[in-house]
């Protein structure tokens, strides 16, 4: 068994490299499971040798095809039912499809450095285009749930030349969206369709490669193009360097164009190695994928890390957790496919609390991974008590290629902490000055800005303007990335997030952490999940308000929950002045609570009530404006504008009066 090494360049000026070794035919970690920070430091001090290197993501699939050729790489479920026969793809076939995808793009004219984007649900073809697109050039992931205009903005920002999306199919709208945004993207050269009918219709007949036009652009059948290409090699002969850009992922954003984060092949190979190593994943393990494949978590955690070690991925329907069959059948799917891991966001864990586990054998589950948003401790405790499954809470972001730290599987899991940093991934808290630069490192338990550095950290946003104040090091070689999150490090190296700078509730100059409010409210036996935000206040600037969803079958009044908050939130100023019970909270496409929508709701209510108190009937609507940021538009009779302005100017919210007679 010979060591394999991944060669990683750091983002720095001295061209340093790290060789990260793991052993043998099955590509397993060459170290024991991580339990403490001392284990991580020992890993980083290990002597390293290499026989050959994984320089890019294609190398992972080539090596996997040799090591695990007949093992199942993907199980695809169209409906999420136990009795359906899954589509299965082994490792040898997966490599062939990746080669064919890259070759089909090359035949259309795609060159290294050019961009192919995918606007797709979770399908086997989604994996083909991700990894085949990276082999041919750069692949751009696009959230298919965005509006057409937003998709067009992202495609233009990425300078997209080729697009892969769904063919028209009942119950889907992606082709209808494409008809709206394709004319807005002048750089496009060709469109490739994936036809869902091949999975849904018995006796499906293959379509011809060329199937029409859209906006003057040729439209091709994706699978037909692949079938015409060789699967054993790259026709282009491209040699992919570790530092070549592999992918573009857009970040979340509420105003204007989302930031575009490039990932290099080195970033992604390291991330796969780190996740595989920290979880101690093995060939033959099974990982359930319910998160979307336009998001880094779905692509890396439930994707590439599995392919590196020879695990199988159960792609649980095109919609993932959003499919109405998946959560009701969740524990049965775990038993049927002997799933060892799954990754989800807190809202999914909350929903699973209402799905009975009894009667299902879930003993195969080793860990459930939680990220993307803080897990309320009460949900954490309830879930583990109900299921017996250990939750590993971690932390990451698109700019870190997915994950930076996690509670150690073999060590102490500290509820509320995001755990220990990954090997070779530096993670520290700093005091950042007004100039955006590091003033000093924080002491143990001192709250500061969380910054990360290492081979998983992206090389910088695609647009130069977006890189302002995100690299706080004072020297060029100090490649620290400012995450924008606030946190503290304890004496054992565990990181504890204390909030996000932009999410802080600032009540009369006093900073309030919304997470503290949310954790307290979730201790109420009837509360399933809570979200705290700052709502406008004419005196204090903003005051805390909260929105809660009740557990299934439970009842509680607003007054009861407010009284509970008063007795469980030690900081008087943090007690919400208003609590509203909602049937559900707004969430992003990956299931994170979407607080901007809640802030908008609060602004509309507060401003509307303030105007009503002085006898002005108004319609208030809040949106995001590229120049003003959050903007409240107030429609009211022109004769009352002067009186309305006197009321509105008491608030810090930007407002615009619109005549409405």
Q: Read off the pLDDT of residues 467-508 as tens digits, 9 standing for 90 and up.
A: 988 999 877 667 899 998 888 999 999 999 876 666 778 786
> Cα(535)–Cα(521) distance, rounded to whole angstroms?
17
* pLDDT for the residue numbered 16: 33
Strand partners, 548: 530, 581
> What average pLDDT score do residues 636-660 get?
84
Question: Closest by alpha carbon to 429, among 416, 413, 420, 440?
Answer: 440
Q: At residue 353, what are phi and psi to the nearest 5 degrees? A: -60, -25
What confidence tier does 511 reach under pLDDT thresholds 50, 70, 90? low
* pLDDT for the residue numbered 24: 35
Question: Could you tell me if 158 and 248 are in contact, meaning their C-beta atoms sit under 8 angstroms apart?
Answer: yes
pLDDT of 28 strictly over 60: no
* pLDDT for the residue numbered 405: 96
Q: What tens digit of pLDDT does each residue of 160-183 get?
A: 999 999 999 999 999 999 999 999
Alpha-helical (H) ranges within 463-593 are 514-521, 558-568
Classify strands 17-23 and 28-29 as parallel, antiparallel or unpaired: antiparallel
Question: Helix/strand/coil (H, E, C) string of 627-652?
Answer: CCEEEEEEEECHHHHHHHHHHHCCCC
Question: Could you tell me if 581 and 560 are in contact, meaning their C-beta atoms sit under 8 angstroms apart?
Answer: no
What confidence tier does 253 reach under pLDDT thresholds 50, 70, 90? very low
- Report which listed range, 130-134, 251-255, 621-625, is most confident: 130-134
Higher pLDDT, 383 or 46: 383
User: What CATH code is assigned to 3-482?
Assistant: 3.40.50.12780
Q: Which helix (H) or strand (E) holds 72?
A: strand 72-77
% pLDDT > 70, the chain: 90
pTM (whole model) above 0.75: yes
Q: Tokens at residue 66, please?
A: 């040799």
Question: Closest by alpha carbon to 592, among 302, 248, 321?
Answer: 321
Q: Within 10 A of 298 (CB to CB), how many other CB atoms are there? A: 24
Q: What tens digit of pLDDT does each residue of 355-408 get?
A: 999 999 999 999 999 877 667 777 788 899 988 999 999 999 999 999 999 999
User: What CATH code is assigned to 504-587?
Assistant: 3.30.300.30
Q: At residue 17, what are phi and psi to the nearest 5 degrees? A: -135, 155
Strands, E, within 346-494: which ranges? 367-370, 390-395, 405-406, 420-421, 426-432, 438-441, 448-453, 481-489
Question: Could you tell me if 57 and 269 are in contact, meaning their C-beta atoms sit under 8 angstroms apart?
Answer: yes
> What average pLDDT score do residues 421-427 get?
93
pLDDT of 607 strictly over 50: yes
* pLDDT for the residue numbered 406: 96
Q: What tens digit of pLDDT does each residue of 514-557 get?
A: 888 998 999 999 999 999 999 988 877 789 999 999 999 999 99
> What average pLDDT score do residues 274-301 get?
94
Q: Which helix (H) or strand (E) holds 223?
A: helix 222-227
Q: Is 611 left (phi over 0), alpha (psi -120 to 50) or beta?
A: alpha
Q: Which helix (H) or strand (E) holds 105?
A: helix 91-108
* pLDDT for the residue numbered 14: 32
Q: Within 10 A of 48 (CB to CB), how many other CB atoms are there? A: 12
Which of 55-64, 212-221, 457-466, 492-501 is least confident?
Answer: 492-501
* pLDDT for the residue numbered 438: 92
Return the SS3 of 468: coil
> What average pLDDT score do residues 397-425 get?
93
Classify strands 541-550 and 578-581 as parallel, antiparallel or unpaired: parallel
The fold of the 598-659 domain, in CATH, is GMP Synthetase; Chain A, domain 3 (3.30.300)
> What average pLDDT score do residues 83-96 get?
97
> Cα(489)–Cα(386) distance, rounded to whole angstroms?
30
> What average pLDDT score do residues 234-243 get?
96
Return the SS3 of 77: strand
> What average pLDDT score do residues 306-323 get?
96
pLDDT of 31 strictly over 90: no
Radius of gyration of the chain (CA): 25
* pLDDT for the residue numbered 25: 38
Q: In which residue ranges of the chain is CATH 3.30.300.30 found?
A: 504-587
> What average pLDDT score do residues 313-342 get?
96
Question: Could you tell me if 631 and 622 are in contact, meaning their C-beta atoms sit under 8 angstroms apart?
Answer: yes
Higher pLDDT, 128 or 277: 128
Q: In which residue ranges of the chain is CATH 3.40.50.12780 found?
A: 3-482
pLDDT of 21 strictly over 80: no
Question: Could you tell me if 592 and 374 are in contact, meaning their C-beta atoms sit under 8 angstroms apart?
Answer: no
Q: Tokens at residue 119, please?
A: 């606007």
């Amino acid at each position: 068994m010979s060591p394999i090494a991944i060669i990683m360049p750091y983002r720095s000026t001295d061209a340093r490299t790290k060789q990260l070794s793991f052993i043998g035919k099955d590509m397993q970690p060459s170290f024991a499971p991580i339990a403490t920070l001392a284990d991580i430091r020992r890993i980083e001090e290990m002597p390293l040798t290499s026989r050959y290197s994984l320089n890019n993501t294609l190398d992972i699939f080539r090596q996997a095809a040799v090591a695990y050729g007949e093992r199942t790489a993907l199980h695809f479920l169209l409906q999420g039912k136990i009795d359906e026969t899954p589509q299965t793809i082994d490792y040898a076939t997966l490599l062939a499809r990746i080669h064919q995808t890259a070759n089909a793009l090359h035949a259309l004219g795609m060159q290294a450095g050019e961009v192919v984007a995918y606007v797709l649900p979770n399908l086997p073809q989604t994996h083909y285009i991700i990894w085949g697109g990276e082999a041919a050039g750069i692949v751009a992931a696009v959230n298919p749930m965005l509006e057409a205009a937003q998709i067009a903005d992202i495609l233009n920002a990425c300078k997209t030349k080729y697009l892969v999306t769904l063919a028209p199919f009942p119950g889907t709208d992606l082709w209808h969206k494409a008809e709206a945004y394709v004319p807005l993207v002048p750089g496009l050269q060709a469109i490739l369709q994936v036809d869902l009918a091949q999975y849904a219709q018995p006796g499906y007949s293959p379509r011809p490669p060329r199937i029409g036009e859209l906006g003057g652009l040729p439209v091709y059948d994706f699978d037909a193009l692949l079938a015409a290409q060789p699967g054993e090699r790259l026709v282009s002969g491209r040699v992919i360097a570790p530092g070549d850009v592999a992918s573009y992922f857009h970040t979340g954003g509420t105003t204007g164009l989302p930031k575009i984060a490039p990932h290099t092949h080195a970033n992604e190979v390291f991330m796969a190695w780190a996740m595989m190593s920290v979880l101690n994943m093995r060939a033959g393990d099974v990982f359930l994928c319910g998160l979307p494949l336009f998001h880094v978590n779905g692509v890396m955690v439930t994707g590439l890390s599995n392919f590196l070690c020879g695990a199988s991925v159960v792609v649980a329907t095109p919609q993932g957790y959003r499919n109405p069959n998946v959560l009701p059948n969740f524990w049965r799917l775990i038993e049927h496919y002997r799933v060892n891991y799954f990754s989800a966001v807190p809202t999914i864990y909350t929903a699973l609390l209402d799905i009975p586990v009894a009667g299902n054998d879930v003993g195969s589950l080793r860990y459930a991974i939680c990220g993307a948003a803080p897990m309320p401790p009460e949900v954490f405790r309830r879930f583990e008590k109900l299921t017996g499954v250990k939750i590993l809470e971690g932390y990451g972001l698109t700019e870190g290629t997915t994950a930076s730290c996690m509670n150690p599987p073999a060590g102490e899991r500290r509820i509320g902490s995001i755990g220990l940093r990954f090997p070779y991934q530096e993670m520290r808290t700093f005091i950042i000055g007004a100039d955006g630069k590091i003033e000093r490192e924080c002491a143990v338990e001192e709250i500061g800005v969380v910054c990360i550095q290492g081979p998983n950290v992206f090389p910088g946003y695609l647009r130069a303007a977006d890189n302002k104040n995100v690299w706080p090091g004072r020297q060029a070689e100090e490649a620290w990335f400012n995450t924008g999150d606030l946190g503290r490090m304890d004496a054992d190296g565990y990181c504890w997030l204390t909030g996000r700078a932009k999410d802080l509730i600032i009540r009369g100059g006093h900073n309030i952490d919304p997470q503290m409010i949310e954790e307290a409210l979730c201790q109420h036996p009837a509360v399933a999940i809570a979200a705290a935000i700052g709502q406008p206040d004419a005196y204090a600037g903003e005051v805390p308000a909260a929105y809660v969803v009740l557990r299934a079958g439970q009842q509680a009044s607003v007054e009861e929950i407010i009284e509970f908050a008063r007795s469980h939130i030690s900081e008087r100023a943090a007690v919400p002045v208003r609590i509203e019970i909602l049937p559900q909270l707004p969430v992003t496409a990956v299931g994170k609570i979407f607080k901007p929508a809640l802030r908008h709701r609060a602004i509309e209510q507060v401003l509307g009530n303030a105007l009503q108190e002085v006898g002005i009937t108004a319609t208030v609507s809040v949106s995001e404006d590229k120049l003003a940021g959050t903007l409240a538009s107030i429609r009211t009779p022109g004769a009352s504008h002067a009186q309305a302005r006197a009321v509105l100017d008491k608030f810090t919210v930007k407002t615009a009066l619109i005549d409405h007679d």
